[in-house]
Amino acid sequence: MTNHYDEFRVQITPNVDGRLALQILASPIPASVGPKGAPASAFDPADLARMRAKGTFGAGGNLQEMQRIGTAVFQSVTNAEVQADLRVALALNQTNGRRIRIVFSTVALDGPLPGVRPSEIPVEAIYRDADGFYASFEKTPVSRTLVAKPDRDTVAVTPPLRVLLVAACPDGWPKADIGKEADTIKAAVKQLEDNRLVIVESCIPPTKAEMSRRLKTGNYHAVHFAGHGGVGRIGGDPTPRAFLCFEREDKGLDPLDAFTFDSMLRNCPSVALVVITGCSTAALPVPIGGAPYAATAFDGVAQRLVSPGSLSTVSAVVAMQFDLEPSAAIAFSRAFYTTLIAPDTTIDEAVTKARSDISDVSSMGSPGWVNPVCYWRCNNSRPFEVRPYGGSLSPEEEREITTLKVRIEAYRTSLQDLRSQPPSVQAAAARFGQDLIEKIDGFLARISELNGNAIRLKGGRANALGDIDFVLSVRLRAAATLDRLRAKISFEENAFDFVSATKGAAAPSAPLTAAAAGVLTILIEDVSAGNALAAGEYEIASIRMRVKDRSQSTRVLTIFELQVVADPDNVFYSSVDGYAFLS
């Protein structure tokens, strides 16, 4: 698998005085990582209103006005230092032949803030005269996240990719061309369906009960909602909430709020992606009935599904921040799915291609192409990787992996519950705790075995000094020559210190490493010394971490941005994270 993007990740957070602060969390230039002060200026609420209002830009668009607003957005989420760091990173990557994804990270906000809230700023419009609109260019995709670092695995999917399509337009709401959009989605993937790479199933009728039934019985990888969204009071609940407009049996409105949607998706743990081509489904709640509503970045439907508090396994959401014209919705769906299923494609790449196609049916001077918002928390910006049939997982194996992951989380919860018991109870249940640890380790080994080609970080218990030796191994389904492996391993800075890395039993030399800000970067060259390795598992590195915080019974070290250069080169390598047992 080739990961041709580096990342420039900027976190936007409020200070105690309500003003925003910037911090670069990731960059191709490590020296630029760190706090960067306040943005150059605040984003004008009037400009946000212009972006949201229909007719502001005219039928043919107004490029000069879009450039002006894009410049204002850029100033509101950067400053001179951040801009200089970005320019240097872009120049470096141009020399290296690599691309840069620009990611804006926001966090939960307690209470109201003056002006435009960070999650309402249309960062997809950022513009600089020398570079143009970043988000419209495939070499600089722009996306968002609500976590500091990717923390969910890319899911290996055996064809077909199964999509549940919910197209709803209840009576009393503006008549959207939902039927045409649904037909377009199916037409866009017809060739893929013919080749059994994708299957789109329609949720008919588009009711909450029917969707819930399908999620419990189906094995879907993505859910696509096409329709309306809004904010209001649901039933007798006095608190306004973001919702999607589902239909009742009589075609009337049946709102589905973000929390309930998240809970429903929990019943289908195979779902990694949600697409919402509704109106304002990524926007935050606004004042209702004259009373300001203290919204946070997690109150919108899209934000809820990828927030740290999400109940589901969703790792990426694409939604709309303004009203989406029917022609733009159709252009989006066609481009998005066609690109998403292509080999070696990331979620932000697919959204960037969709933005380009939206601008083709409108213009760069219209805000429609800014509309799609991409939130993600998955490794390498890939919610899933669709494998070719050769050497891939069967549907039964895929379901087994999903079940094993659910059981691992349940056993981790049991270990933490045991940790909270009095010492006498812990001592009496020591054998039970050890059994849980052994079962978790067995589940992880089974996941690695099922994946066939996998890079696994094997964890364990800390020794008397508090050190844990993690073993990095590669499992091969078939013979392969491994040339180069590069990966990043995310760990909790408050819980671990990186100590050292040494060569594994099957590697010719020790890895090159660099650790900073809770991320260990590891590089192993000439992994198999030019020799073809037979099918099996091989230890290629040993990584020692020192435990600083034992308050949790288990902690996870996550592999992300995995790159494997090998022969054959058309093989997908999944990753299996490392578990530290601290009880």
Indicate if the pLDDT at residue 355 is higher than 80. Answer: yes
Residues 425 and 281 in one domain: no
* Model confidence band, residue 196 (pLDDT cutoffs 50, 70, 90): low
Flag whether pLDDT at 101 surpasses 70. yes
List phi, psi (to 5°) of 371.
Answer: -55, -50
State how far the alpha carbon of 196 is from the alpha carbons of 152, 154, 386, 387, in Å.
27, 21, 12, 12
Domain containing 362 — which CATH number?
3.40.50
Q: How confident is the model at residue 103 (pLDDT cuts 50, 70, 90)?
A: very high
Q: Which residue has the higher pLDDT, 376 or 493?
A: 376
Q: Which residue has the higher pLDDT, 188 or 87?
A: 87
> 279-317: buried (b, 16+ CB within 10 Å) or exposed (e) per residue?
bbbbbbbeeeeeeebebbbbbbbbbbbbbeebebbbbbb
Look at residue 540 and tell me if it is in a domain: yes
b/e per residue 39-66 (b: at least 16 CB within 10 A): bbebbeeebbebbbeeeebeeebbeebb
User: What pLDDT is stored for residue 507 in this prediction?
Assistant: 92
**Tell me: the pLDDT tens digits for 233-250?**
777 777 777 888 899 999
The structure tokens 């061309």 sit at: 177
Which amino acid is present at 540? I
CATH code where residue 536 lies: 2.60.40.680
Q: Are residues 118 and 224 in the same domain?
A: no
| pLDDT at 113 exceeding the cut of 60 | no
Buried b (16+ CB within 10 A) or exposed e, 493-506: eebbebeebeebeb
Q: What is the pLDDT of residue 122?
A: 94
Query: Which of 348-357, 362-371, 395-404 has maximum average pLDDT?
Result: 348-357
Mean pLDDT along residues 125-150? 94
Identify the pLDDT of residue 231. Answer: 74
DSSP for 127-168 reads: EETTTEEGGGSTTS-EEEESSSS--BPPEEEPSSEEEEEEE-
pLDDT confidence bin for 292, thresholds 50/70/90: very low
The domain boundary, picked from 353, 386, 419, lies at 386
* Beta pairing partners, 172: none
What is the per-residue pLDDT for 154? 86
Q: What pLDDT score was predicted for residue 61?
A: 86
Amino acid in position 401: I
User: Domain tally for the chain?
Assistant: 3
Instruction: Determine how many CB atoms are found less than 10 A away from the CB of residue 212.
Output: 18
Q: What is the mean pLDDT of the chain?
A: 86
Q: What pLDDT is stored for residue 138 in this prediction?
A: 92
Query: Which residues span the domain enclosing 52?
Result: 5-145
Same domain, 282 and 361: yes
- Asked if residue 532 and residue 468 are part of one domain, the reply reads yes
